[in-house]
Structure 1
Amino acid sequence: MLTSDPAIPAPQPRASLARRMGFIATAWIIVLLLGGGIALERTLTSQVQANFDEQLEYQLTAMISSAEIDSFGEVWFYRSLGDQRFLEPGSGLYWQIDGEGYEPYPSRSLWDTPLQLRGVIEDGAGGFVDEPQFYDSAQFEGEPLRIAERTLILPGSDTRWTFAVAAATEERDNQIQRVRFILFWSFAVLGLGLIGMALLQIWYGLSPLRRVRAAISKLRTTGENRITEPLPTEVQPLVDEVNALLEHTERQAEEARMHAGNLAHALKTPLTVLTNAATAKDPNLNQAVFRETRTMQRHVDHHLARARAVGRRAVGQARTNVRQSAEAVRRAVERLYPNGRLDIAGSRDALVAIERQDLDEIFGNLIENAAKYGGGSVFVTIDHEPDADQCVIWVEDDGTGIPEAERTRIFDRGARLDTGKPGTGLGLAIVRDVVEIYGGSVTLDESEDLGGLLVELRLPRA
């Protein structure tokens, strides 16, 4: 019962190469710009904050340098602080002086709402911190403040005075928002531009692949058999492999056509004989059928052996140990000819670029022929010339050999010198065809050691 091969599922398309590259480029650009933008935003924000604090410290220093102690032990300014905002209520710029045992002394801009200051900060050693301190305050509803204060003792007084300057942070916050706004849109435009350039680069960079696709499509529609369009060096190896595959496919197709033609031609004569015998009601029809069907069977076996070798060769680069194949065949032949002697010598590690089944068939035909037609001794030498480019194998026997004039004809299909022994006459023909399919050669000579036939194989090394 014949069963059809299960349908091979069509390969599912994977993610687009351009889409994958675009995703990676986009993600990388976003990560870089996001990281750079955050770092730059923090740097600029810190700089805005530092500038704001510098202005407060400048005002604080100017206020301290203008302060003196009067005859009543209180602080007064011997010169104006200069900034008119200190005189305008709710202007957003304030100062205040606190002294131990004294009421807070605020600027006019504070009006009647004094600042809540941190005051003296003890240093833990009986003294206090005499450095400007900066901090944010939300004590005025709706008006966040940044306060700079410093505690010190003025000349002519033992009181620790705390000087403070406060400014509304609205201007600082507005500057930070402007910086962030500019950074966001600048980096957004830059990112979109970079992503657009990356996508354009991907589209342009992959254009050779589109040209390859168009060239392959052109092979189907125009009948051309090679891709000849010049392409970048990165894509050219792919084109070379495609061309090599096309050449290999053409060669296989040509071989298939040739084998089909040869088989048809070989079967034509036996079929004609059978047809004529049947039409003429030949009394020897049975003998004719038997004879011609054996002829057809030889032709079919021969072409099947070639087809199997060609198919296995197309699968890929094979690596077969010669000694293992020869030993396996020897064990099989020794069971058929138990009285013979079969010796194998030479390399145990020699490898050839032939499928194991085909090498077994080669050895099977040669060793069985040597055992059948020889005098009982068969000698196989593996890698007879270790330095040769190809692996040289000798198969010798002690039979009568083959006359030199017959050594070419013996490779023909069905050729037999000894018709008294069973056989089809295809053994050496199959050996020659299989060896040549793999790029090797086979020759016949006379064995100097055994006196019979010497078959020399030259097979490609793996």
Structure 2
Amino acid sequence: MTAGAQPSPATDAPPVTLGRAISQRSSLARRMMLIAAGWVLVLLLGGGFALDRTLTNLVRGNFDDQLEYLLNSMIVVAEIDSDGQVYFNRPLGEPRFLEPNSGLYYQISAEGREDFPSYSLAVTPSRSLWDTTLKQRNHLDNEPHFYDSDQLPEEPLRIVERTVILPDSDARWTFTVASRREELDAQILRIRSILIWSFAVLGLGLLVLAVLQSWYGLSPLRRVRAAIQSMRSAGTNRITEPLPLEVEPLVEEINALLAHSERQAEEARTHAGNLAHALKTPLTVLTNAATARAPDLHTAVMRETRTMQRHVEHHLARARAVGRRAIGHARTPVCESAEAVRRAVERLYPGTRFDIAGNRSALVAIERQDLDEILGNLIENAAKYGGGSVFVTVDVEPEDAQCVIWVEDDGAGIPEGERQRIFDRGARLDTGKPGTGLGLAIVRDVAEIYGGDVALEESEDLGGLLVRLSLPRAG
């Protein structure tokens, strides 16, 4: 490399190794596992969250119902004494209210009492509060209110409050019942722990099930692979093992592809054998003439080489048609090809009258080059051996799968007994005009390769030869 030259990108690019190529390929099993894992994760998270909210609200609601029951029991037995203080006309029946720091407390208070203006604030706490006072919230309605509070050090509380007006009092009294949240939080924590472990085990089980489902569901593909390996090693030519309905179309396509390949291989062997057989006789003649130093060696060489050339051209035309047919289904307009052939033949036979009629939009399932070769042979023969008029008619019936092309001339025609022999390679009825005798043979072979056929008849309109060419329509 010269100084200052820059390395080419292709040289500096890292090679694509087999490992990288395999890692970049997608996997059906991996896709199925990712989809299953994603849906399991979404459903378990959603279901777990909904179930956690439901159970947590159920436990908290049960806890709140107990607090509200105690609150209503206090309101029912509460009365106002002569000093304006609240007292209970019978015991509450809950001993934890009497035990200091028991975790269950109540407090009754009123602000701005109108019946005893000398008191701006009255507070009646439970004995369990001892010397502590709860901070209450002001509520203007008579509904119970629940909330959590951390106002007591190291003792989170669940509180319910309700504001009522007691008999013989114009003040709004706030009744409060508070309970330690440790038991409630412990129950919620236990529920969440059970949910987490349960859903984790459920998720793991679902993932294992997805793995087994993927392994079992994709087992027919592994059987197909084993069958293909058996075809390569054991020499079988079809997949005959019973497989599920979903895999049967794939197996049918593989068998059809194998059958198509076998037909192509058989056609290739047949063409090669026919060509070898056709060339064997001319080569033998040339070898014998050269060995015997025959005086007409020059004439024999010219005659036999023309014969060999006809055979080679014929088989090359068949090989090209077979190769183009294997590429895929073609769509070729018939009239467009016929017009192109007409313009070319008019230069060779300027005095001939051509008439192309029929369905101008007809399409055939044949490659354009092959259709041009077929129509070129037919139209050129009609112009060569006719009397000056060539008619081409394209006929397509809506319900018919074939497109019929009629090529007529006003020549002498072909006797009915010679119409089959004329398709043989090299067969010529009129040796006074130049030609190789391969035109109709090539037309027949190429048409049959595409699933069509060709027949010779007598033209009723022009009196000469009528060639009926049938080709498959393009859908």
TM-score, with structure 1 as normaliser: 0.91
Corresponding residue for 1:51? Answer: 62
* Equivalent residue runs for 1:39-438 within 5 Å: 39-100=50-111, 101-118=120-137, 120-121=138-139, 128-383=140-395, 389-438=401-450
CA contact (8 A) 2:104 2:178 kept: yes
* 1:33 and 2:33 aligned: no
Q: Cα deviations across residues 161-190 of structure 1 (Å, max 9, x unaligned)? A: 221111111111111111111111112222
Q: Deviations over 1:322-342 (max 9, x none)?
A: 222111111111122111111
Q: For each residue in 1:50-105, what CA deviation from the matched residue of structure 2 results, as whole angstroms up to 9, or x when unmatched?
A: 11211111111112222222222211222222222212222111111213324422
- 1:384 and 1:394 in contact (8 A); partners too: no
State which drifts further: 14-23 or 430-439: 14-23
- Local SS of the residue matching 1:383: strand
Deviation at 1:309, TM superposition (A): 0.9
Structure 1 Cα separation of the partners of residues 303 and 169 of structure 2 = 141
- Note closer, same or farther for the CA distance 1:102–1:377 as it changes in structure 2 (3 Å cut): closer
Which consecutive residues of structure 2, in runs of 5 or more, have no partner in the other structure? 1-16, 112-119
3-state SS of paired residue (1:104) = strand
The aligned amino acid for 1:16 is S
Distance 1:385 1:176, change over 3 A: closer
Aligned to 2:132, what secondary structure does the other structure show? Answer: coil
Distance 1:159 1:401 in 2: 129
Aligned to 2:3: none
**1:322 and 1:348 in contact (8 A); partners too:** yes
Deviation for aligned residue 1:403: 2.2
In 1, distance between residues paired with 2:246 and 2:145? 65
Q: Structure 1 129/336 Cα, relative in aligned 2: closer, same or farther at 3 Å? A: same
Offset, 1:237 = 1.7
For residues 316 and 110 of structure 1, the distance between their equivalents in structure 2, rounded to whole angstroms, comes to 93
**Matched residues, percent identical?**
74
**Kept after mapping to 2: 8 A contact 1:29/1:191:** yes
| Structure-2-length-normalised TM-score | 0.89
Q: Distance in 2 between matches of 1:384 and 1:59?
A: 96
Q: Distance in 1 between matches of 2:227 and 2:105?
A: 80
Q: 1:147 to 1:385 in 2, by over 3 A?
A: closer
CA distance in 2, matches of 1:295, 1:444: 25
Question: Which letter maps to 2:146?
Answer: F
Provide closer, same or farther for how the CA distance between residues 338 and 386 of structure 1 changes in structure 2, counting only shifts above 3 A.
farther
Superimposed CA distance per residue, residues 128-168 of structure 1 (whole angstroms, 9 cap, x where no aligned partner): 32222222211112111121122222212233322111111
Please give the secondary structure, in 1, of the residue aligned with 2:146.
strand
413 and 155 in structure 1: CA distance in 2 versus 1, 3 angstrom threshold: same
After TM superposition, give the deviation of residue 452 of structure 1 in Å.
Answer: 1.6
Cα distance in 1, alignment partners of residues 292 and 449 from structure 2: 43
Displacement of 1:404 in angstroms is: 2.3
